[in-house]
Amino acid sequence: MTILVTRPEQESQALCDALYQMGHHAISHPLLTIHPGRELSLLPSLFSSLSDGDFIISVSQHAVEHAQSYLEKQRKEWKKGVNYIAVGQKSAQHLKTYISDPVHFPTPSDSEHLLALPVLKNVAGKRAIILRGNGGRDLIYQALEDLGVKVTYCETYQRQSTSFNGSIKAEEWQAQNVDTLVVTSGEQLVFFTSQFTSTDLDWVLTCRLLVPSERINQIGQQLGYQHIETVGGASNSDLLHYLSEHHHDGTFK
């Protein structure tokens, strides 16, 4: 079994290294590059617009790291006295290294479970800033607006898709015995699949596909993937735990 990991470069290589330590063969093929966002300079004024009990929500560790990098350069600090929320445990851990306030996060790690957090009850009249990349889902924004929250996006990082020649890669990966794909966002799954011709897709769609959530599982089904498994989270630790529990002697349990 060879696992193809399509995460952004830093996480992808870290996961491949960890898989190698577990005795798996893995290939890193990032689909995205990550760059500073276009709205980082707005962070200080956005933070100053918040009052005690308002919200700062981070959608990923990239959102946290790029915000932290900018704040450091400007000799600014994270806002104190607000409710910090992260979409996943990894993002929460990153936030906790920079702030003293508690960080709330859902389990499983997704937008739907985030919106069910107790801290988001009775929030009408509050303000919220969502730290995110370019594009992405609007579910959190829309749901909070419906609850009476004044919501503002801040693009702290940019994702840029990296195109590749699907025919060449399909041949190369088949020769390397790739039979498992790790894709951690719906947007990336659609992009990845779009890079192949119909002939190459005959092979791609038979690979075992590991995804973090039922929502992305549904996207995979719509695209035609035949063997999809939901890991339960998008972090490397979630993926490693799942593989350790569901892999034995070259076959999945």
Residue-level pLDDT at 154: 98
Domain 2-31+164-252 and domain 35-159, same fold? Reply is: yes
- 3-class DSSP assignment, residue 18: helix
pLDDT at position 179 over 50: yes
CATH number of 35-159, picked from 3.40.50.720, 3.40.50.10090, 3.30.360.10, 3.60.21.10:
3.40.50.10090
Evaluate whether 115 touches 140 at the Cβ level (below 8 Å).
Answer: yes
Q: What is the pLDDT of residues 13-63, one digit of tens each?
A: 999 999 999 999 999 999 999 999 999 999 999 999 999 999 999 999 999
Q: What is the DSSP string of 188-229?
A: HHHHHHHTS-HHHHHHHTTSEEEESSHHHHHHHHHHT-SEEE
pLDDT-based confidence at 247, cuts 50/70/90?
low
Number of residues written out for the chain: 253
**Domain topology for 2-31+164-252:** Rossmann fold (3.40.50)
pTM: 0.82
> What 8-state DSSP symbol labels residue 100?
S
pLDDT-based confidence at 248, cuts 50/70/90?
very low
pLDDT-based confidence at 244, cuts 50/70/90?
confident
Q: What is the pLDDT of residues 120-172, one digit of tens each?
A: 999 999 999 999 999 878 999 999 999 999 999 999 999 999 999 999 999 99
CA angle 141, 143, 148 (to 5 degrees): 95
Where exactly are the structural domains of the chain?
A: 2-31+164-252, 35-159
d(CA 76, CA 41): 11
